[in-house]
């Protein structure tokens, strides 16, 4: 009985946001399979990022049968892990959530995408181990859906 309480306690207190290195992030999203990984870089302080999160969540639901996996990557400071965790729980985000811990941005932005200035939101899509889409800037739901539609074919 006690262990059940412990389990419940653990379940509710369990962090939803996992801190990852760039290598871990890339290993988890650049995979040799036909799942479309939609990787969105955001932060709690970024208004357009927060505004488009529901669109990505909606797309995840809509394309659930099409091997689409939305991954949110927070670029908040790593000391803000608890803030980010609370934020995504309050927003009831169901997609995978990471907090990137990769050091000074100048050392890793180009490894994600050389065309990326570093402004957010920014979204990349990967399939069969290849990057097949990059956008710096936000989407509307219609734009996002139509892009995913062409990429899952």
Partner 1 sequence: MTKHLFLVIAVLFLASFKPEGGYKVGDAVADFKLKNVDDKMVTLSDFKDAKGYIVVFTCNHCPFSKKYEDRIIALDKKYKPLGYPVIAINPNDAAQHASDDFPSMKKRAKEKGFTFPYLYDESQAIATAYGARMTPHIFILQAGVGTPVVKYIGAIDDNSDDATAVKEKYAENAVDALLANKPVSPETTKAIGCTIKWKK
- Quote the least distance from Cβ 112 to partner 1, whole Å: 10
Q: Least Å distance between CB 75 and partner 1? A: 5
Q: Are 59 and 73 in contact (CB under 8 A)?
A: no
Whether the CB-CB separation of 129 and 90 falls below 8 Å is answered with: no
Residue 44 contacts residue 76 (beta carbons within 8 Å)? yes
How distant, in Å, are the alpha carbons of 4, 8, 12 from that of 1? Answer: 5, 11, 17
d(CA 129, CA 64) in angstroms, rounded, equals 20
- All residues at 6 or more sequence positions from 30 whose CB lies less than 8 Å from its CB, including other chains: 37, 126, 129, 130, 131
Which residue lies nearer to partner 1 by CB, 33 or 149?
149
Query: Nearest approach, Cβ of 29 to partner 1 (angstroms)?
Result: 19
Report CA 123 to chain centroid distance, whole Å.
9
Q: How far is the CB of 113 from partner 1 (least distance, A)?
A: 10
Cβ proximity to partner 1, 6 vs 51, nearer residue: 51
Closer Cβ to partner 1, 3 or 117, answer by number: 117
Residues that bind partner 1 (CB under 8 A): 43, 45-48, 75, 77, 79, 104-106, 109-110, 115-121, 133, 135-138, 143, 146-147, 150
Judged by CB, which is closer to partner 1: 34, or 115?
115
Give the residue with the Cβ less far from partner 1, 36 or 121.
Answer: 121
The distance of closest approach from Cβ of residue 2 to partner 1 in the complex, given in angstroms and rounded to an integer, is 42
Helix extents (H) in 14-95: 22-29, 47-62, 81-90
């Amino acid at each position: 009985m006690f262990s059940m309480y412990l389990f419940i306690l653990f379940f509710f207190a369990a962090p939803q946001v996992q801190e990852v290195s760039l290598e871990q992030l890339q290993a988890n999203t650049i995979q040799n399979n036909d799942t479309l990984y939609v990787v969105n870089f955001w932060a709690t302080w970024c208004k357009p990022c927060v505004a488009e999160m529901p669109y990505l969540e909606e797309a995840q639901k809509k394309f659930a049968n099409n091997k689409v996996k939305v991954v949110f990557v927070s670029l908040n400071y790593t000391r803000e892990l608890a803030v980010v965790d609370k934020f995504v729980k309050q927003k009831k985000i169901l997609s995978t959530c990471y907090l990137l811990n990769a050091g000074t941005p100048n050392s890793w932005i180009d490894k994600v995408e050389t065309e990326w200035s570093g402004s957010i939101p920014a979204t990349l899509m990967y399939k069969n181990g290849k990057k097949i889409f990059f956008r710096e800037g936000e989407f509307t739901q219609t734009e996002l859906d139509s892009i995913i539609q062409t990429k899952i074919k």
